[in-house]
Chain A
Amino acid sequence: MIPPPIAADDEHAPIGQTDPEGVSTRELTGGADLATVPMWRIRLRLLRRSLGMMWGLFRGNRMGMLGLGLIATFAAMAIAHPILMATVWEPRVYDPVHGYDAVITEYTVVEGEPSDPATEISLNQARLEMNPTIDVGETIFIPTQPAPPTLTGETPHFLGTDARGRDILSQLLFSTQAAFFLGAVAALTTVFIATTVGAIAAYFGGWIDGGLMRFADLILLMPLLPVLIVLSAVLDMSMLLLGLIIGVLSGFGGVAIVLKSQALSITVKSYIDAARVAGGGHWHVIFRHIIPNVLPLSFLFMMFGVTEAIAIESTLSFFGLLNVDMTWGIMINSAQNNGYLLSGTSYWWLLFPAGLAVTFICFGFFLVGRGMDEVVNPRLRSR
């Protein structure tokens, strides 16, 4: 349950008292007698109201809305792919992994260097590439791979094809799903672990705290990327596994330290004492009081966790270390394998779409995280 935003500290400010109106119980019960309305329905309505309030705050933040727009765009891309594959796109041609579309170009074999590379080809090259017995004057048909973007024709490729004849746009859209999946797995795992670790360390203190924090320091010492490279050599790395590993390492590491200090600031508040005096045991206090008040900050880190995970995946795929079919990283990896990495703008469609996709989705999540800052921390709100 997403709790309402942290209430602002009521300083005795000369701004007048807090508004005593709030939501009336009448609204919550929908006019019915209180006894007839089950508690879960009331809680649901309270939740909806607080979510609405948070949304209202978030909406006013331009950065956050921009980020949300970016993410929504990518979500649309992810949804678009299966729809397109089912309707307009022929799987034989447009499948991101197995599709093939050859753009065949006719070349005339000439002696020496060709004066028009688009239509002529030298004898040596023709013999090398196609037919050792071919002779000058004959025409040969060579498939152009990767092919630049074509907007027309029977099988248009809006972003061209890659070195194996596969449609770039299809690959781009397909990879979005993997990115979201990975991001979600990594971020949720991180937050789940870090929040629990932080709350337990803060609440119990002593050697439990010491042990968990030293462990976190240990993890911080390890450079994440090299570790993952080594692990991927040993393990069969799927997206799920990668997400979990990133989540575990981040969760016990730096994020746990930050969330623990947040949890610590809550542990010393007197409502924790009040909960214990009411008869609450350790777990009641941790899960009903500490964690709900840490969660807003956790959500914030979740956003940043997504960007980290996607960036790492791109790097690992670039090195070809992951056991995945198609991601943005794989797209760039494929470009590199076929020697097009340093081709500059000649074969731009092999590199820029994938690279920009990674950049902009990370940017989107980052902006949302920044936008959430205002929701999470009432002190940042403009008055």
Chain B
Amino acid sequence: MTTSLENLETRQIDPTKPLLEVDRLVMHYKIKAGEVSAIEDVSFTVHQGEAVGLVGESGCGKTSVALSLLRLLPSNAEYISGEIRFNGEDLLYLSPEEMRQHRWKDIAMVFQGAMNSWNPVYRVGDQIRETLDTHYRGAMSYDQQREHMERLFSSVGLTPEMLDRYPHEFSGGMRQRAVIAMALACSPELIIADEPTTALDVIVQDQILKELKRIQAELGMSIIYISHDIAVIAEVTDSLGVMYAGKLVEYGPTSTIFARPRHPYAYLLLRSTPSISGPRRELAPLEGEPPNLLSPPTGCRFHPRCPFATDKCVTDEPPLEEIGGGHRVACWHHEQVPELEEALHR
């Protein structure tokens, strides 16, 4: 927890040391119709300097997990059990005031669609200054703030003059860079990037992703990438977790998961992503729709759509088990998954 100014200095990082530990998190939304089981027993660890990805489709809970890390969920979100430990401290038990100390200074977020959330009637620089005023009340003079913001802007590839411009004078990619600059304003140890490039053109996306990678390396920051775009996750993350219907179904090093996906959903997801490189393979269709989390399926939540589903899958929920090299899968039949490849060719 830092209260002093660390103007974008690089940190000494120890990649074995865990920065953030999500431990068996369970969260439900309470709505009129009942309880929505949005996060069910999710556990993963982000180490210092690591880039972790959370992949899944809409409704899988990845954004809920992200917002939980900053305790930004609406009031009808109830944490049933589990812990979120940041540098050892459980964030779920902090008072609002204590949590505010962590927000932005230790963990910051690039929200989904943030690039369109700039207030059009204020200059971009003033909006970033508002962040600094909130977190460093009185501790920074106007000139110090200006200097800090200029350094922030150049670190994301924007010229300092743009601080005095209005959002409509920025292009989409520039707005997103400004959002990243705002997230970096208080030198956090961890940044959560929720669909950071989804609305951007592919060339701009490439630039932003490279920028994020560079910033991460230079500042010794950890990043959690949240995306439905598997290709993006493949490029920028060291480890990744696949989420489905509120559960983490597979987790491990990125290269391992892409080479040997062992959960049927993860496998089918990877194989339903068209790619411009490599042979033009047949794509694997995924039948059905994600389940309604008000009354999720019993046992394994993927069983209604799974080609391997057996009776056991309907009654018993598979735990997330380690199958070697940091690779964890939650499936009773994970050994059979390689058969899917042959089945597809038939």
Contact = CB atoms under 8 A, between A and B. Distances in A.
Interface of A: 12-17, 19-20, 382-383
A16 B29 CA distance: 11
Mostly, the B contact residues are loop
Contact of A14 (B32, B64, B76): B64
A13 B59 contact: yes
Given A14-B61, A15-B29, A16-B36, 16 more contacts: A12-B59, A13-B59, A14-B36, A14-B63, A14-B246, A15-B294, A16-B290, A16-B293, A16-B294, A17-B289, A17-B290, A17-B291, A20-B289, A382-B32, A383-B31, A383-B32
B191 to A, nearest CB: 21
Contacts of A13: 59
Interface in B17-63: 29, 31-32, 36, 38, 58-61, 63
Interface in B271-308: 289-294
Given A383-B31, A383-B32, A14 B38 contact: yes
Given A383-B31, A383-B76, A15 B36 contact: yes
A16 B292 contact: yes
Sorted from nearest, which 10 A-B pairs have the closest CB atoms? A12-B58, A16-B293, A16-B292, A383-B31, A14-B64, A14-B38, A15-B36, A14-B61, A14-B59, A16-B294
Nearest to B228: A12
Mostly, the A contact residues are loop
Contacts of A382: 32
A353 to B, nearest CB: 42
A12 B64 CA distance: 12
Contacts of A383: 31-32, 76
A8 to B, nearest CB: 13
A12 B59 CA distance: 6
Contacts of B291: 16-17
B76 A15 contact: no
B293 A14 contact: yes
A63 B291 CA distance: 37
Contacts of A19: 292
Interface in B82-126: none
Residue of B58, B60, B76 most packed against chain A (CB within 10 A): B58
Contacts of A12: 58-59
Contacts of A15: 29, 31, 36, 38, 59, 293-294
Band of interface residues on B: 10 to 19
A13 B59 CA distance: 6
A17 B29 CA distance: 14
A61 to B, nearest CB: 14
Interface of B: 29, 31-32, 36, 38, 58-61, 63-64, 76, 246, 289-294
A366 to B, nearest CB: 27
A32 B60 CA distance: 40
B30 to A, nearest CB: 9
12 contacts: A12-B59, A13-B59, A14-B64, A14-B293, A15-B31, A16-B291, A16-B292, A16-B293, A17-B289, A17-B292, A19-B292, A383-B31
Contacts of B290: 16-17
A383 B35 CA distance: 11
A19 to B, nearest CB: 7
B225 to A, nearest CB: 17
Contacts of B29: 14-15
Contacts of B31: 15, 383
A20 B60 CA distance: 18
Contacts of A16: 36, 59, 290-294
A17 B59 contact: yes
Contacts of B76: 383
Nearest to A381: B32
Nearest to A15: B36
A15 B76 CA distance: 12
A13 B291 CA distance: 13
A13 B290 CA distance: 13
A20 to B, nearest CB: 8
A291 B96 CA distance: 47
Contacts of A14: 29, 36, 38, 59-61, 63-64, 246, 293
A16 B289 CA distance: 10
A17 B294 CA distance: 9
B125 to A, nearest CB: 31
Residue of A17, A19, A20 most packed against chain B (CB within 10 A): A17
A14 B40 CA distance: 13
A20 B292 CA distance: 10
A12 B56 CA distance: 12
Nearest to A60: B32
Nearest to B64: A14
B226 to A, nearest CB: 12
A364 B336 CA distance: 67
A20 B291 CA distance: 11
A370 B178 CA distance: 41
A13 B61 CA distance: 9
Nearest to A383: B31
A16 B244 CA distance: 11
Contacts of B294: 15-16
Contacts of B32: 382-383
B42 to A, nearest CB: 12
A382 B32 CA distance: 8
Contacts of B63: 14
Contacts of B61: 14
A16 B57 CA distance: 11
Contacts of A20: 289
Contacts of B59: 12-17
